[in-house]
A and B are shown apart, each in its own frame.
Chain A
């Protein structure tokens, strides 16, 4: 109880302020992480474009639109026809790609080319669920849906609709050619689709999509019209890139400053507690409690924030680096404490408390 009170006494008044400082620094690192994630995302699209550049042939909807887009450096909805290098005609794939925004909406696995390998043989349907149901029917999971017309059907949830779109007919089991309201795709229909029998313009702009769905569709590659988006990508990368470097310098400097400052303060507080009758072990223990409070609370808050942002921004970068940073900081703080416990309190007192 007394030890707890000692730690509380050591941090109570100052805790909030010090946690805020730590939080500020760590939020900076989280921002940095997010910017890096965005950069990585753009870079992945670039890599994908390079990989499949020779496979793309463009059949634009409207030449005037392309000309406008090229002139203004913006992206537009275009129909891309993908063909293999071997143009025997045996395989022709159709993909509809709307804009860069589409890519920004899909998970990173798509951009990174990590295809989902789910076994959907025993699933009757692939499902795209409304945004409001995304928690109940998470993307990438099997589930059973019940419809008055058809009864229970086994489905594989391959996508989530954007939040601002609704289904016209929630019981529909079909591909809708005219708008963005795909709800369920019968697996057979998917096969028909890949064989070109249903080939017509189908704009699938989803809030979230499982790459496995593309696998099922037998679309092995997606490609963009490189010339059209190249400039756009460069422009998109410039801002986060600059932000990244600036944040790195700012927060790196601040973090180092804080570490050295807190090390100096820790040393002084440690000596004072020793002076007042704490043994080395107890003084280190109290300082350890303070350090843990100051490190763990901001890091946990930051991790929660990063996780929320990751979900919101569809970043598929892993959170392990942040967790590793947390653990690293805890370990460093203990290293600092170990170093502190090896110092002679008398020497610290002699050095710090005399003019």
Chain B
């Protein structure tokens, strides 16, 4: 069973207006559990739009999206939020951290939002995640005092806090130097190989894409695949 199955997915912005944009034009694809997929394309090709729909951040206007074999179009906002919290982790280009909080508080956020996690287990779990990613000693440091690489590690720790099935990364190395980018990619590989997480990352960098087992090209809202 595929983790993700898209069937002729359509997405419009400003639908029905003069400024209407047809962002995704009948995108169909299947992604198996445990895959590491690179999503490439020029700016405006629809990479982020696709990632947002895959991560239930945004809705779609046509077609079908099945996650773990079940349709998602009829799910309510609360159910989508629960899926986002428990099954999906996000890593953003600019890290997407709450800057006035420390690393531990940032990592704790999805755990606090997870109804299944007991409050007493949140801090130890967050601390262990930070230690696993090599920044345990930075737990109490406000994230705006951390380097770019450290901030991205905090973001990854937060993304995997609830042991998600799917990790979505939007230009995760775009704000990092090449050495730090390589370190971050190693973390993604480790999560993919050791934890079996499915990783989909949008990137402009062919070297980053080359490290993935599968590359999808998005062009003008349509997908072309190269193995």
Q: Do chains A and B interact in one complex?
A: yes
Residues of chain A touching chain B, judged by Cβ–Cβ distance below 8 Å, are 1-2, 5-6, 9-10, 12-14, 17, 265, 268-269, 271-282, 344-346, 349-350, 352-355
Closest beta carbon of chain A to B39's beta carbon, Å: 14
Q: Which residues of A contact B52 (CB under 8 A)?
A: 346, 349-350
The answer to whether B137 has its CB under 8 Å from any CB of chain A is no
Q: In the complex the two chains form, is A275's CB within 8 Å of B90's CB?
A: yes
The answer to whether B4 has its CB under 8 Å from any CB of chain A is no
Q: In the complex the two chains form, is A272's CB within 8 Å of B97's CB?
A: yes
Q: Which residues of A contact B57 (CB under 8 A)?
A: 274-275, 345-346, 349
Q: In the complex the two chains form, is A352's CB within 8 Å of B94's CB?
A: yes
Interface residues of B in 76-101 (CB under 8 A from A): 77-78, 80-82, 84-86, 90, 92-98, 100-101
The total of chain B residues at the interface (CB under 8 A) is: 39
Q: Which residues of A contact B112 (CB under 8 A)?
A: 2, 5-6, 9
Which residue of A has the minimal Cβ distance to B90?
Answer: A275
Which residue of B has the minimal Cβ distance to A271?
Answer: B96
Q: Which residues of B contact A272 (CB under 8 A)?
A: 96-98, 109
Q: In the complex the two chains form, is A278's CB within 8 Å of B113's CB?
A: yes
6 A–B pairs (Cβ distance < 8 Å), ordered by A: A6-B113, A9-B109, A276-B90, A278-B85, A281-B77, A344-B58
Expressed in whole angstroms, the Cα–Cα distance for A6 and B119 within the complex equals 11
Q: In the complex the two chains form, is A276's CB within 8 Å of B158's CB?
A: yes
Q: Which residues of B contact A353 (CB under 8 A)?
A: 92-96, 170
The answer to whether B174 has its CB under 8 Å from any CB of chain A is yes
Which residue of B has the minimal Cβ distance to A6?
Answer: B112
The answer to whether B135 has its CB under 8 Å from any CB of chain A is no
Interface residues of B in 96-129 (CB under 8 A from A): 96-98, 100-102, 105, 108-110, 112-115, 119
Q: Which residues of A contact B105 (CB under 8 A)?
A: 9, 12-13
Q: Which residues of B contact A346 (CB under 8 A)?
A: 52, 57-58
Closest beta carbon of chain A to B34's beta carbon, Å: 22
Given contacts A9-B108, A281-B77, 13 further A-B contacts (CB under 8 A): A271-B96, A272-B97, A272-B109, A275-B57, A276-B84, A277-B81, A277-B113, A278-B113, A353-B93, A353-B96, A354-B174, A355-B171, A355-B175
Closest beta carbon of chain B to A273's beta carbon, Å: 7
Q: In the complex the two chains form, is B96's CB within 8 Å of A280's CB?
A: no
**Are A5 and B119 also in contact (CB < 8 A) when A277-B82, A279-B78 are?**
yes
Q: In the complex the two chains form, is A354's CB within 8 Å of B113's CB?
A: no
A-B contact count (CB 8 A): 102
Which residue of B has the minimal Cβ distance to A15?
Answer: B100
Q: In the complex the two chains form, is B84's CB within 8 Å of A13's CB?
A: no
The answer to whether B33 has its CB under 8 Å from any CB of chain A is no
Q: In the complex the two chains form, is A355's CB within 8 Å of B94's CB?
A: yes
The answer to whether B28 has its CB under 8 Å from any CB of chain A is no
Contact with A along B148-178 (1 / 0, CB 8 A): 0000000000100010000000110011000
Q: Which residues of A contact B97 (CB under 8 A)?
A: 272
Expressed in whole angstroms, the Cα–Cα distance for A279 and B175 within the complex equals 28
Expressed in whole angstroms, the Cα–Cα distance for A9 and B94 within the complex equals 22
Residues of chain B touching chain A, judged by Cβ–Cβ distance below 8 Å, are 48, 52, 57-58, 77-78, 80-82, 84-86, 90, 92-98, 100-102, 105, 108-110, 112-115, 119, 142, 158, 162, 170-171, 174-175
Closest beta carbon of chain B to A57's beta carbon, Å: 68
- What are the 6 closest A-B residue pairs judged by CB atoms, nearest first? A277-B85, A346-B58, A279-B81, A353-B92, A14-B100, A276-B110
Q: In the complex the two chains form, is B81's CB within 8 Å of A278's CB?
A: yes
Q: In the complex the two chains form, is B86's CB within 8 Å of A277's CB?
A: yes
Q: In the complex the two chains form, is B85's CB within 8 Å of A354's CB?
A: no
Expressed in whole angstroms, the Cα–Cα distance for A5 and B112 within the complex equals 8
Q: Which residues of A contact B101 (CB under 8 A)?
A: 9-10, 13-14
**Are A280 and B58 also in contact (CB < 8 A) when A13-B105, A272-B96, A272-B109 are?**
no
Expressed in whole angstroms, the Cα–Cα distance for A6 and B106 within the complex equals 11
Expressed in whole angstroms, the Cα–Cα distance for A265 and B101 within the complex equals 12
Which residue of B has the minimal Cβ distance to A12?
Answer: B105
Q: In the complex the two chains form, is B78's CB within 8 Å of A277's CB?
A: no
Expressed in whole angstroms, the Cα–Cα distance for A280 and B80 within the complex equals 11
Expressed in whole angstroms, the Cα–Cα distance for A5 and B122 within the complex equals 11
Which residue of A has the minimal Cβ distance to B55?
Answer: A275
Interface centre among B58, B97, B175 (most CB of A within 10 A): B58
Closest beta carbon of chain B to A22's beta carbon, Å: 14
Expressed in whole angstroms, the Cα–Cα distance for A2 and B85 within the complex equals 15
Closest beta carbon of chain A to B13's beta carbon, Å: 9
Expressed in whole angstroms, the Cα–Cα distance for A14 and B106 within the complex equals 13
Q: Which residues of B contact A345 (CB under 8 A)?
A: 57
Q: Which residues of A contact B100 (CB under 8 A)?
A: 13-14, 17, 265
Expressed in whole angstroms, the Cα–Cα distance for A2 and B95 within the complex equals 25
Q: Which residues of A contact B108 (CB under 8 A)?
A: 9
Q: Which residues of B contact A273 (CB under 8 A)?
A: 109, 113
Q: Which residues of B contact A278 (CB under 8 A)?
A: 81, 85, 113
Closest beta carbon of chain A to B83's beta carbon, Å: 8
Expressed in whole angstroms, the Cα–Cα distance for A345 and B102 within the complex equals 23
Q: Which residues of A contact B92 (CB under 8 A)?
A: 275, 349, 353-354
Q: Which residues of B contact A10 (CB under 8 A)?
A: 98, 101
